[in-house]
Amino acid sequence: MLVRPGEKAKVKIKVNGIWYEREVEPRQLLVHFLRDELGLTGTKVGCDTSTCGACTVLLNGKSVKSCTVLTVQADGAEVTTIEGLDAKDIKEAFKENFALQCGYCTPGMIVQSFYLLKEYPHPSEEEIREGIHGNICRCTGYQNIVKAIKQASGDGHVHG
């Protein structure tokens, strides 16, 4: 796509099952498109260094940090945000295992968990920790998050 300086770029992106056509700044990040253009504020911005994972979404089924993707790169693609994610079991498991405190990291963590469980339906604790290492939670110490993901996988109805 060739865009001259000062021009906007036309994009067509399917988000949570709905196609949106917009004109965007060529440098706009996908996370801002989702939050500011579409009002999908479940996707958070937790850092400016691409490290926290609070902005995680699925792009054509793969988990990505939406602060590392330009909106124009998602042209023609399919995006799923926390609002459109079919992850009832994971959300329940997070609640039951007290895996959220401030909750700021939670949407990204749940999207990442969903992706992890799609790739590894029965992950070991090590695979879970590896799978979420790009998502930072500063308050739960990960133990409950790991338990929640294990429970959501159907492998570990661990309580307490």
Distance CA 112, CA 87 (A): 11
Distance CA 146, CA 95 (A): 13
Is 24 an interacting residue with respect to ligand FES (CB under 6 A)?
Answer: no
Distance CA 157, CA 160 (A): 10
- CB nearer to ligand FES: give 3 or 70: 70
- CB nearer to ligand FES: give 72 or 132: 132
Is 33 an interacting residue with respect to ligand FES (CB under 6 A)?
Answer: no
- Tell which phi-psi region holds residue 107, choosing left (phi > 0), alpha (psi between -120 and 50) or beta: alpha
- CB nearer to ligand FES: give 24 or 104: 104
Q: Reduce the DSSP state of residue 113 to 3 states and report it.
A: helix
Distance CA 54, CA 94 (A): 16
Is 54 an interacting residue with respect to ligand FES (CB under 6 A)?
Answer: yes
User: What part of residues 59-78 is at the interface with ligand FES (CB under 6 A)?
Assistant: 65, 67
Q: Which range of residues in 4-12, 20-28, 41-49, 79-87 is near ligand FES by CB under 6 A?
A: 41-49
Is 30 an interacting residue with respect to ligand FES (CB under 6 A)?
Answer: no
User: What part of residues 99-128 is at the interface with ligand FES (CB under 6 A)?
Assistant: 100-106
For residues 56 and 77, the answer to whether their CB atoms sit within 8 Å is no
